[in-house]
Amino acid sequence: MGAPRDTRLGNMDAAFKALADPTRLRILGLLMSGEVCVRDIYDALGIPQPKASRHLSYLRKSGLVSSRKQGLWVHYRAAPLGDTVMRSLLSAVTHCLGHVETVGKDRHRLEAKRGAGVPAQSQPHPLFECCRPARQSGADRRRATDRRRAARSGR
């Protein structure tokens, strides 16, 4: 008899498989700002509707997105994740997607279609090295201090 299956590990495995496709990552990039109709997703990405639906179905089965039907259209959003590990994983992925030019262009197309501006990005988490301010060397700090002192004294 084998060891019991680790649910958390299984969920992470499913999530990593779902994240291993550029189209699905672009879809998650669109869902960072909230709920989006399937029609708006395939329009923003410039892909055929069946392709968008296939990838959305994969994301839904992995537990990363949820959906609701309204009339003829299905609306998708990032799924509420109960597991802290999965929330951390999705947070890191969506943060990284915020630094990808293609995802930014997709979001701009979506917001242009909706007639609204792209929402401002959230404050960077200190965990992410890419968002930390660059450290100044001691010499750079001294030069900056000297410039401020010179400006105050009118030199």
pLDDT of residue 125: 45
Express as a percent the part of the chain with pLDDT over 70. Answer: 81
What's the mean pLDDT in 5-25?
A: 92
pLDDT of residue 106: 94
Whether the predicted pLDDT of 115 surpasses 80: no
pLDDT of residue 33: 83
* Helix (H/G/I), strand (E/B), else coil: 146: helix
Express as a percent the part of the chain with pLDDT over 90. Answer: 60
Take residue 93 and report the two structure tokens written for it.
Answer: 């992925």
Residue 51's nearest CA partner among 33, 34, 38 is 38
Whether the predicted pLDDT of 2 surpasses 60: no
Whether the predicted pLDDT of 76 surpasses 90: yes
More confident residue, 29 or 124: 29
CATH class in words for 7-117: mainly alpha
Q: Which residues of 35-54 are buried (b: 16+ CB within 10 A; e: fewer)?
A: ebebebbbebbebeeeebee
Residue 105's nearest CA partner among 90, 120, 118 is 118
The alpha carbon of residue 59 and the mean position of all alpha carbons in its chain are separated, in whole angstroms, by 14
Report the length, in residues, of the chain: 155
Q: Residue 18's pLDDT band (boundaries 50, 70, 90)? A: very high
Provide the whole-model pTM: 0.74
Whether the predicted pLDDT of 124 surpasses 90: no
pLDDT of residue 79: 93
Q: Residue 153's pLDDT band (boundaries 50, 70, 90)? A: confident
What's the mean pLDDT in 47-70?
A: 95
